[in-house]
Homo-oligomer: A and B are copies of this chain.
Amino acid sequence: MENPRPLDTLNKARNQRVIVDLKNRKQLVGKLKAFDIHINVVLEDAEERVDGEITRKLGTIFIRGDTIIIISLE
């Protein structure tokens, strides 16, 4: 099938910085290292942002997919 699939987009974003918007209104920003079909995601050098302010330095984090709204390239 030649049509692109959503996970192809995530695949191209590997090792790039992404912004993950969560359902709890926070953002997690970091380098995309891994993801799976549930959209579980691993970020490196991650930080948490609330209303644009950095609120936590988090290092390597595992994010459970069902808490994610959008993933955008920075």
Contact = CB atoms under 8 A, between A and B. Distances in A.
A69 B71 CA distance: 15
B33 A69 contact: no
A39 B64 contact: yes
Contact of A4 (B3, B33, B58): B33
Interface of A: 3-11, 14, 22-24, 28, 33-36, 39-42, 46, 58-73
Given A4-B33, A59-B72, A62-B70, 16 more contacts: A3-B34, A5-B34, A6-B34, A9-B33, A22-B69, A23-B24, A23-B67, A28-B70, A46-B72, A58-B72, A61-B70, A61-B73, A62-B71, A63-B69, A63-B70, A64-B70
